[in-house]
Amino acid sequence: MRIAYLINQYPKISHTFIRREIRALERQDIDVTRIAIRGWDAEVLDEDDKSEQLKTRYVLRDGAARLLTAALAMALSHPVQFYQGLGLAFRMSRSSDRPLLLHLAYLAEACRIQPWLIQERIEHLHAHFGTNSAEVAMLTHALGGPAWSFTVHGPEEFDKPQSIGLPEKIRRCAFVIAISSFGRSQLFRLVGHSLWPKIHVVRCGLDRAFHQGAASPSPMTRNFVCVGRLCEQKGQLLLIDAARRLLERGEQFSLTFAGDGELRPELEGLIDRYNLRNNIRITGWLSSEQVRQELLSARALVLPSFAEGLPVVIMEAMAVKRPVISTFVAGIPELVKHGQNGWLVAAGDVGKLADAMQECLATSPEVLERMGEAGFEAVTEHHNVDKEAELLAGIFRRPSRSLPELH
């Protein structure tokens, strides 16, 4: 079977799960064409990402003039389909928080993609994320393209489902993938019960290579690591407040923020304000192997998120047998079990977060090892990339196009 994946930016340091999924699908004898809106000029750290960059076709690479040419060619050669797509773009703009011009740009991007799909004999188009990439896939289908689907990760899609037209996308696609049961429940809220069968759960997965060389927690390690983009939804500012409380309680520890992002200046300002430079460091973006090494050198992963889907880094921490301190948010409790493989606290509660970190510091090496083993068992059972790819491949191959489409 020949399918195409459409991603807004690919490859990307925070999208390694997409790369793993694509390669696992290829091991299921599915031929995957990579298409991305942007990313050809992005600096990538992993050799695997560099390889993916060479395999990817980029919609915006030739500039706006090429998009306009593609749109004009589609209007002249397939006027009925073009005006159907144009009408759909206008419809999507009505409830959107983005101007009409952007939706027309999405239509032009779809015009650019459609000939590629014909050229590659693509049978199905799948978009990752329910935002603009899903709209481009939907418009491509309106132009006469193949059946399409998309994966919803959250939390962005759940923050503004109506303004991104998520219900319309669900109604028009062949199927939708959610990465957790929680994510599926949020999609159920948006459409009628008759459409629920087209919403499936396929979890993000890890390959065997990430599990290799895992070590037991060291009793000497008092380092916490927080991995991810530095942004408001991850709760890192609260984590600095918790770190200050730990220091006031006389605890000796260190904290590493492995990542980068728009919140970094504010985080650094708060670190300086609290005089925590001796305890906290920010690494910037790291390769997958460097993230793995940071996890191995830590006592536990701390992720005090305010909003999430189901973070892949939690899976990665458990794969190297490190317990996790996180929050009762979205899909996280589906993997992190309080007292078994980590600690869960109420989101936004700095006191409880500091208590959990202090309890982790006081926990014996034997208990930490048992928690690490429990996490390892959970992630290898429920987040094996080849097992999940087999499930996803079965959905791609299923004649699920029988559900009526809206026009």
pLDDT, tens digit (0-9, with 9 covering 90-100), for 310-355:
999 999 999 999 999 999 999 999 999 999 999 999 999 999 999 9
pLDDT score for 227: 97
pLDDT score for 268: 98
DSSP codes of every residue in 68-116: HHHHHHHHHH-HHHHHHHHHHHHHHHHT-SS-HHHHHHHHHHHHHHHHH
Residues 218, 179 share a domain: no
Q: Tell me if 96 is assigned to some domain.
A: yes
Residues 47, 142 share a domain: yes
Residues 109, 228 share a domain: no
Q: Tell me if 296 is assigned to some domain.
A: yes
Quick one: tokens of 387? Answer: 């097992």
Domain that holds residue 17: 2-205+385-402
pLDDT of 279 higher than 70: yes
Residues 285, 197 share a domain: no
Q: CA-to-CA distance for 83 and 184, rounded, in angstroms?
A: 33
Q: CA-to-CA distance for 112 and 67, rounded, in angstroms?
A: 6
Percent of the chain whose pLDDT exceeds 90? 90
- Domain CATH number, residue 267: 3.40.50.2000
SS3 150: strand
pLDDT of 402 higher than 60: no
**Pseudo-torsion of CA 352, 353, 357, 363, nearest 10°?**
40
Q: Tell me if 64 is assigned to some domain.
A: yes
Residues 105, 141 share a domain: yes
Q: Tell me if 177 is assigned to some domain.
A: yes
The answer to whether the CB of 78 falls within 8 A of the CB of 53 is: no
Residues 141, 8 share a domain: yes
Q: Tell me if 323 is assigned to some domain.
A: yes
Q: CA-to-CA distance for 277 and 18, rounded, in angstroms?
A: 35
Residues in contact with 138: Cβ distance below 8 Å, sequence separation at least 6, in sequence order:
88, 148, 168, 169, 172, 173
Q: Tell me if 407 is assigned to some domain.
A: no
Quick one: tokens of 11? Answer: 């490859």
DSSP codes of every residue in 264-328: HHHHHHHHHHTT-TTTEEE--S--HHHHHHHHHT-SEEEE--SS-S--HHHHHHHHTT--EEEES
pLDDT, tens digit (0-9, with 9 covering 90-100), for 55-87:
999 999 999 999 999 999 999 999 999 999 999
Does the bond joining 399 to the residue before it have cis omega, within 30 degrees of 0?
A: no
Quick one: tokens of 374? Answer: 């429990």
pLDDT, tens digit (0-9, with 9 covering 90-100), for 201-231:
999 999 877 766 656 666 678 999 999 999 9
Q: Tell me if 99 is assigned to some domain.
A: yes
Residues 213, 198 share a domain: no
The answer to whether the CB of 102 falls within 8 A of the CB of 124 is: no
Residues 225, 196 share a domain: no
Q: Tell me if 291 is assigned to some domain.
A: yes
Residues 250, 316 share a domain: yes
pLDDT of 406 higher than 70: no
Query: 45 falls in which pLDDT band (50, 70, 90)?
Result: confident
| Radius of gyration over every alpha carbon of the chain, rounded to an integer in angstroms | 22
Q: CA-to-CA distance for 405 and 407, rounded, in angstroms?
A: 7
Residues 328, 289 share a domain: yes
Q: CA-to-CA distance for 208 and 339, rounded, in angstroms?
A: 26
The model's pTM is 0.93
SS3 132: helix
Q: Bridge-partner residues for 223, per DSSP?
A: 254
pLDDT of 14 higher than 50: yes
Residues 90, 238 share a domain: no
pLDDT, tens digit (0-9, with 9 covering 90-100), for 109-131:
999 999 999 999 999 999 999 99
Residues 362, 263 share a domain: yes
What is the mean pLDDT of the segment spanning 132-146? 98
Domains in the chain: how many in total? 2
